[in-house]
Amino acid sequence: MESKEKTNRKRIIGIVVKDKMEKTVVVEVERSFKHSIYHKYVQTKKRYKAHDETNRCTVGDRVVIVEARPLSKEKRWLVKEIIKKEVHTLIQEEV
């Protein structure tokens, strides 16, 4: 029987932009907020390095990352689950 784990870890949804490293992916998270002075909505992007133990993530995947203990100098996040897998199609040139 699975138990619901109750943690106060932060959860962020983002898109994988790099997967060239061993057991590490770079996830880009886009956030929008209302500017305090100009009252316009501003979008910002931030990149996080996340640990992917099985190397399942590929570029374009939508993933959930959760906060973790420091795993390396810049890696403080774990890939919790893959929400949407990116489908890669090969395009052949017509001759």
Confidence of residue 85 (pLDDT cuts 50, 70, 90): confident
Residue listed under structure tokens 């996340």: 50
Helices (H) and strands (E) counted in the chain, each on its own, are 0, 5
* pLDDT per residue as tens digits for the range 40-84: 999 999 999 999 999 999 999 999 999 999 999 999 999 999 998
| Residue for token pair 């570029």 | 59
Residue 3 has pLDDT above 60, yes or no: no
What is the reported pLDDT for 94?
73
Spatial neighbors of 10 by CB under 8 A, at least 6 apart, are 66, 67
The model carries a pTM of 0.81
